[in-house]
Amino acid sequence: MDYGYVLSRAWKIIWEHKVLWVFGLLMGLGNAGGSSSSAANGNVTWKTDQVPPWLENFAFNFSDTQGILLLCGAILLGLLIFALIIFLATIGKIGIIRGVSDVELGVQTSRLRFGELFRLSTPYFWRVFGMYFLVVLAFIVAIIVLAVPLAITVVGIFCLICLAPLAGFLLFAVLELAANAIVIENLGAIEGLKRSWMLVRTKFGPVFVMWLILFVIGLLGGFILALPFFLLAIPWIVGSVISGSNTLQLGWGLWLVCGCIYLPFLLALNGILQSYIGSAWTLTFLRLIGKEKSDGAPVMSDPNATLIESEPVIEAG
């Protein structure tokens, strides 16, 4: 596999079709929740006499019916927001796969449009979501069945430490390739997982190398994007050590304000990063199944066609 071509081509596609940045932003919503919360640790403590009166009343009201209804409403709102984030993140993933594959295979010769790409992505939602759900559920069951008994022994802990990186690689690679198989080859959730596992088994070397490259890119990119949060926290931490709790509270407020100002830029830049990594995985999948372009000639000429392994292009049912 020409890794240099995949990496350079991925950047060229997302630069020429910047609408993919928006889908990358949507995809990034699924893993942006814990990125900045770790910066606020347990150093901020409240004394009993420092609790604001409104907070005391708020906690007290949870003992009556109105408070219980308010709590249930907050839980329901949180579940709705969570479901919306899952939907948008999944559509973002599908949109990148569909857009990049259409561009690379010659289906889309003009500029990608958000509305059209969003519309073309929605039919794949339940299949891709179901695939992720099945894999995560199986992974949780495997942890309960295998990891918990092994963790009670020293040898078991050592085995878990050794197997964890391999398990993480296999899980991530299978998920990425399965999502591409579902969208590009118009497969179901189970068929997509089978197709993905077959590719990982038969072409382990190229898949592992590309995963390692993109893992490093994602790690470095994420560190650079999160760096301003840590830089903003340095004066706050130093001031709190020198001057005490008053400076700590002031620094917390300034960090929060600056963090809110930086947050839109963080989401936008993370969208570009996610769209690049997703594009590279799609191009990797196309090359693994032998559907890359040769001599610049488009592979597909029918926008409604789909790819099934090495068979000729057929109409999608």
Confidence of residue 39 (pLDDT cuts 50, 70, 90): very low
**Per-residue pLDDT at 191:** 92
> Of 96-100, 156-160, 225-229, which range is least confident?
156-160
| pLDDT greater than 60 at residue 54 | no
**Per-residue pLDDT at 40:** 37
Amino acid (one-letter) located at 84: L
**Per-residue pLDDT at 237:** 65
| pLDDT greater than 50 at residue 30 | yes
Tokens of 57: 């009343």
How would you label 181-198 residue by residue, b for 16+ Cβ within 10 Å and e otherwise?
bbbbbbbebebbbebbee
Confidence of residue 300 (pLDDT cuts 50, 70, 90): very low
**CB-count burial class (<10 Å; 0-12, 13-18, 19+) for 207:** buried
Confidence of residue 123 (pLDDT cuts 50, 70, 90): very high
Mean pLDDT of all residues in 43-59: 48
Tokens of 153: 């022994």
Amino acid (one-letter) located at 193: L
Confidence of residue 143 (pLDDT cuts 50, 70, 90): confident
Mean pLDDT of all residues in 183-208: 91
Mean pLDDT of all residues in 172-200: 91
Contact in structure between 26 and 99 (CB atoms under 8 Å): no
Q: Which residue has the higher pLDDT, 173 or 293?
A: 173
Mean pLDDT of all residues in 130-155: 77
| pLDDT greater than 50 at residue 221 | yes
Tokens of 93: 């993933």
Cα gap 127→211, rounded to integer Å? 23
Mean pLDDT of all residues in 8-27: 90
Cut 0.85: pTM above it: no
Residue 82, number of CB atoms within 10 A of its CB: 11
Confidence of residue 113 (pLDDT cuts 50, 70, 90): confident
| Model confidence pLDDT, tens digit, residues 236-293 | 666 666 655 555 566 676 777 777 888 888 888 988 999 999 999 999 999 998 865 5
Share of the chain above pLDDT 90, in %: 28
**Per-residue pLDDT at 127:** 92
| pLDDT greater than 80 at residue 88 | yes
Neighbouring-strand partners of residue 306: 314
Confidence of residue 207 (pLDDT cuts 50, 70, 90): very high
- Least Cα distance to 92 among 180, 27, 33, 31 occurs for 27
Q: What is the secondary structure of the chain as a DSSP string?
A: --HHHHHHHHHHHHHH-THHHHHHHHHHGGG-TTTTGGGS-TT----GGGS-HHHHHHHHHTTSHHHHHHHHHHHHHHHHHHHHHHHHHHHHHHHHHHHHHHHHTTS--S---HHHHHHHHGGGHHHHHHHHHHHHHHHHHHIIIIIHHHTTSHHHHHHHHHHHHHHHHHHHHHHHHHHHHHHHS---HHHHHHHHHHHHHHTHHHHHHHHHHHHHHHHHHHHHHHHHHHHHHHHHHHHHHHH-HHHHHHHHHHHHHHHHHHHHHHHHHHHHHHHHHHHHHHHHHHHHTT---BTTB-S---TTEE--TTSPPEE--
Confidence of residue 111 (pLDDT cuts 50, 70, 90): confident
Mean pLDDT of all residues in 188-193: 91
Confidence of residue 45 (pLDDT cuts 50, 70, 90): very low
Cα gap 313→315, rounded to integer Å? 7
Question: CB within 8 A of 268, min separation 6: which ones?
Answer: 21, 25
> Of 123-137, 165-179, 183-197, 303-317, which range is least confident?
303-317
